[in-house]
Amino acid sequence: MEFVFTDEQNMIRDTAESFLQEVSTSAAIRDAMATERGYDPALWQTVCTDLVWQAIHTPEDCGGLGLGYVELVAMQEQMGRFLFCSPYFSSVCLGINALLVAGSAQQQQQYLPEFCAGKTATLAFAGAAAAARGGRWDVATVDATFTTQGEHYQLNGSYEFVTDGASADYLILAARDAASQADEGIHLFIAAADTKGIERELLPTMDQTRKWARIKLNNVRLPKASMLGDESKAAERNGAQSLAVILDLATIALAAEQMGGAQQLLDMTVAYSKERNQFGRAIAGFQAIKHKAADMMLRVEVARSGVYYAACVAEESLQALQAGTPVDRAALQEAASVAKAYCSDAFFKNAGEAIQIHGGVGFSWEYDVHLYFKRAKASEQFLGTGAWHRERLAALLLDGEGVL
């Protein structure tokens, strides 16, 4: 038992911090968010080739650095802190995780080196049901379908809220056997985004720092080898279970980003309160402000403890997958929901308090607070709000025998 960063992990965090502080300036964010792609491709190439960040947890034999989920989370925290506009979350936390969880050895060898070199990817899974009842993010929302046609699969259907869906080079697509329901019959496929029949529509989003798309599939023909998993062990391929694990891993990475954002809001707000004078002194000296700031710090530190715990569970899950042993599904679900439930609320509350303490300027377009406020709500909605994750925890705790 050891619950503190190693020297190497500290170094990764510090490197990410100093680089992102330099490149992800307010001006850079605003330039990137005004583009359709949503990021600066030259900067992304630097991140991939010079810093090799997106290869962080890909195994070395697939061209990666072979580090773990704690390192990935340390990176994500800084991305969230500096609101870095990049396809890092979609490519690494959705795309690469999908290959690591569901891909066969051959598929990993084929695609991961490309991803590590800078090709981008994302995961499309949620159908129209994701918009129902205030947002649903379980695997049962998959409503795209596939049929087998000789040596090919044919996919049809649509996906909502696909992160970086309009810009990604590769798409991981979840689709179900046409006759199946709920968690049955789901499989994952990998396709180049320019495959015939794939139609991508960029959605205008309130949070401009991360792009969402709608994707439609019209009779998309994919080769047999595009289905993730080992074809020779077809009976063991369980797309629904893989998808659930991928989503939990991504959820933990997103929570880390939220925690980083919550930290930055605290830092910005405290700094502002020390500069802003009213009634002849800095407003930082008023208890009404100090106590709000203290609550913001509490939320950041609790979020941090939750994220580090969840990262350790994610790491254990990935190691189990590599060793071919079963993933402790309940432990992973619990960790993902604990982290996402707390971090979603912490990020959003801190963003709201940051506007309040900044006063009028916090409401302006010029100051960056609104960028975080908008990212906070978008991240809260994506992959499940706090309430959605609490209900998932409640089911684990209270229904049936209870597994926690």
Which residues contact another protein (rule: CB under 8 A)?
1-6, 9, 70, 266, 270, 273-274, 281-282, 284-285, 287, 289-291, 293-295, 297-298, 301-302, 304-306, 308-309, 311-313, 316, 334, 337-338, 341-342, 387, 389-391, 393-394, 397-399, 402, 404
Residue 4 vs 179, nearer CB to another protein? 4
Q: How far is Cα 286 from Cα 279, in angstroms, rounded to an integer?
A: 10
Answer for the pair 92, 250: CB distance below 8 angstroms, yes or no: no
Residue 215 vs 296, nearer CB to another protein? 296
Other C-beta atoms closer than 10 Å to the C-beta of 61 total 12
Give the closest residue to 302 by CA, choosing from 350, 250, 268: 350
Residue 134 vs 150, nearer CB to another protein? 134
CB 4, min distance to another protein, A: 4
Counted residue by residue, the chain has a size of: 404
CB 304, min distance to another protein, A: 7
Give the closest residue to 52 by CA, choosing from 122, 117, 8: 117
CA angle 345, 347, 352 (to 5 degrees): 90
CB 285, min distance to another protein, A: 4
- Could you tell me the sign of the dihedral formed by the alpha carbons of 24, 43, 255, 165, in that order? positive
Residue 257 vs 345, nearer CB to another protein? 345
Answer for the pair 33, 84: CB distance below 8 angstroms, yes or no: no
Residue 230 vs 391, nearer CB to another protein? 391
CB 354, min distance to another protein, A: 14
CB 372, min distance to another protein, A: 18
Residue 223 forms beta bridges with which residues? 152
CB 387, min distance to another protein, A: 6
Residue 51 vs 331, nearer CB to another protein? 331
